[in-house]
Amino acid sequence: MKILRVRLDNRRHAFDVVTRRATYEFPYALTKPSPSPGNPVREVHVDPELGNEGFTYVLASGDEGTVHVDHVLAHHEDPAYVREQLLYRLTLDAERAMAESGLSKRAVARSLRTSLSQLARLLDATNQAKSVDRMLALLGVLGRDVRVDVTRRKRAGAA
């Protein structure tokens, strides 16, 4: 995801990161090096060297820091980002299971009632156009169980 703009908000001690999807607040406290009252952010810009998928900031001391958009999305638990990460993990597990299974790709495709080219797309870690349910079906054919663990979030400052 590309960053369109990034702004300083020294009052809230955060960067405002603007993307096509939304504007995200990213706290200074999560950056390294972290800005402080004695060493504030002097400059911030979307970084073209990161393909506009990150921003770089410069502190008054001259120290620089860079934040990738993935860090911002993870902090906000963006649903689309969480889905992409889940698909990526399921794909890596499917690739590993495929290698360990001893089954041919043709046999797996037949069990899924799909084509070899569709199986190749399911096993492609860069393909985000696949569905979680197809990945679960693939892992099932490969003899893997998938468990989902839903837990209560731990709030900052909670006892």
- Show which of 75, 101, 123 is a domain's final residue: 75
Q: How many domains does the chain divide into?
A: 2
Q: Are the beta carbons of 6 and 26 closer than 8 angstroms?
A: no
**pLDDT digit string (tens) for 79-107?**
989 899 999 999 999 999 999 999 999 99
Does the residue 122 lie in any domain? yes
CA 41 to each of CA 27, 60, 64, 71: distance values in angstroms, whole numbers, following the listed order: 12, 6, 9, 19
**pLDDT digit string (tens) for 112-155?**
999 999 999 999 999 989 999 999 999 999 999 999 888 887 76
Residues 48, 92 share a domain: no
Does the residue 44 lie in any domain? yes
Mean pLDDT of the chain: 93
Residues 117, 68 share a domain: no
**pLDDT digit string (tens) for 10-40?**
889 999 999 999 999 999 999 999 999 899 9
